[in-house]
Chain A
């Protein structure tokens, strides 16, 4: 078998951040090859470099035996390299049929749309199962059909290689099954498939070969069976807790009522139910984590509690109905959020970032709080005058937590605090969470790094497709195979 795509020492950095480092990838003609890895491991960057959207900082890409570096995306597309995007990129003014016709007429001097192309477009649309909606504006399609339209667009290129970026993102079970069938059918028609996927069941069902990325580097490669057995891969997904010495914090004393109580929480994005009627609660002084796959609804749950998303159900914090409050009022109630990707005020100094977090407190008290935060994070002390944007990822995470603590919250919520952090920094951040909790602050944590989160928590909830599939004491869940299943698709 020959390689249809080869990369050698492929590296791409953004400023100081190296998103991809020395990637050697060989995709054999006729295979389905999957790229997996945690959030921020460089999967989409890899696709963007291969498909010509980004230029590599160094290294080579060969497609069909020809150098692909420096070629424009449309040139590569016409050579037979098709790709889809993580979120569907629609031609908003077009019908399904027109969308496919664009691809069939992507170059040339024809002054009218050909009869043959019209027929071919119709065939492709029927092949992916959109025959009934050919004339419908593509913006009116539900998510599942949008994904199928992406496949139709790619097929119209008559590609030799198809890159699928999380093709099933946001789909329900039935839609996912339909999509997997379509991908298989497409593959049978000839093209090689390279796919990024978080849902391990999907990868295990489809892939002949898997490459695992972690922090921009190739961590492992092999058949699905080999990758599943690879300890390094299990570590990359489930984290490295165990040798880190994070002790489970002592359980808090039982209080009279729940600090936070959520009942029947439902959140919709358009037609998609991202969170479907979940119940959860946090006691005063407790650390609770919410775990689950990408797209399971973890961050959505946290955003809904922070009132950043419209939601249905009941949310009571300390006797207050949160649904009647706006996001900016939560700090005053004693709820603080450390958002995903930290959202610091990049153009402000470390000290000013902390001051902004102090929510309406007076001068002397702000100074005390800032001192307290810097005491907790000594690494920030020498950086008080530096701009937040100049900090490293780990320092930024510390600052984001410090800023949230400035409002003296009773409940601290964190969205993926370990995202994009090197393992050592992850350990530090979790150790700090234990410190913060020891001072009486309850913590609600959303995390991909399940093993680490479980080690640091009292209790946990596991989400899948917007529902809670497991809950209980963290230690019990850590020993439970169902958590592993939800994460790695390892059965038995």
Chain B
């Protein structure tokens, strides 16, 4: 039964991606296609953070740095003459290795200390992206990245990014339903009890950092392919909080969380654009309200609503009036 549910969700993800790929170009203006493309890249990065923070309970502020490492590695390798088919996996692999290298010392750290260490890592990487101008182009970044030849072709990139995001989300869903996902939750819920249950939490923690880095690395490659240029401000340490906001507002440890969070984070500012600078106030307030009022995030809210609707249907007597339990 559990497997049937997983297959249903995977199928729903694929169908939704296909429907969006077919329908969006007909329904929205070209500018919004670009916004959706950026949302999808944010989504991939947020899924990675949800693995380590949402399922594994390990706070990481390293996501912006991993994103940058993926993008710069891809850009540099292409500039060195590598074809995209080789540069892309190499960039993701290198980012994953950096994730493992960060996960290793992070084994000794927890809570606030882990947060500070990963934040420091993001700071250092942000500086290096500017200072290593021989490789990174310094403050100007890298121009004219060939990518897969579709740079700035938002419409052509849409189905590709939808595909990448769907595969990424499917991976996270399979993980969540797998024994490894169960172990990650055990680790998050109570590390000592997980160890007593025979779970190797050291390997698990490194694995979670590697996975989060790999997703961010994919996001970096996609970003290069979409825009054709990169500059260090996109990967500055401050942006790591954007991904944090996405997964927290979306719903930690819930696979619906990153899509909802990434969509809210990217789309709401667009709708509130007419407010100009004041939209930060509105958006910030929304974030605070969601965190304070809905502990499970938007995904928790959606789950709760569906649960209520489901119960209302189940408990509805023939007369159509809800039974008392359903009203509770």
Contact = CB atoms under 8 A, between A and B. Distances in A.
Interface of A: 51, 53, 72-75, 77-78, 82-83, 85, 89-94, 98, 101-103, 105-108, 110-113, 153, 156-157
A157 B198 CA distance: 8
Among A72, A75, A77, chain B packs the most CB atoms within 10 A around the CB of A77
A74 B177 contact: no
Interface of B: 2-3, 174, 177-180, 182-183, 185-186, 188-190, 192-202, 253
Contacts of A82: 196
A139 to B, nearest CB: 10
A110 B192 contact: no
B190 A77 contact: no
A426 to B, nearest CB: 33
Given A110-B179, A112-B179, A93 B188 contact: yes
A89 B190 contact: yes
Given A72-B202, A94-B189, A113-B2, A153 B197 contact: yes
A101 B189 CA distance: 15
Nearest to B197: A103
Contacts of A77: 195-198
B193 A74 contact: no
Nearest to B200: A74
B186 A102 contact: yes
A216 to B, nearest CB: 22
B178 A113 contact: yes
Contact of A157 (B174, B179, B197): B197
7 contacts: A74-B198, A77-B195, A85-B193, A91-B193, A101-B179, A107-B200, A111-B178
B196 A92 contact: no
Nearest to A91: B189
A112 B179 CA distance: 6
Given A78-B198, A113-B2, A105 B189 contact: no
B190 A105 contact: no
Contact of A91 (B174, B180, B185, B200): B185
Given A102-B182, A110-B179, A112-B177, A90 B190 contact: yes
A51 B196 contact: yes
- In the A-B complex, the 3 residue pairs with the closest CB atoms: A105-B179, A106-B198, A89-B193
Contacts of B177: 112-113
A132 to B, nearest CB: 19
Interface of B is mostly: helix
Interface of A is mostly: loop
Nearest to A108: B179
B151 to A, nearest CB: 36
A106 B199 contact: yes
A147 to B, nearest CB: 14
A73 B195 contact: yes
Given A83-B196, A85-B196, A89-B192, 7 more contacts: A74-B196, A77-B195, A77-B196, A102-B197, A105-B179, A112-B179, A153-B193
A74 B190 contact: no
Contact of B198 (A89, A98, A103): A103
A13 B296 CA distance: 43
Contact of B197 (A75, A106, A108, A113): A106
Contact of B189 (A78, A85, A90): A90
Contact of A111 (B174, B190, B193, B201): B174
Nearest to B202: A72
B203 to A, nearest CB: 9
Contacts of B202: 72
A51 B193 CA distance: 12
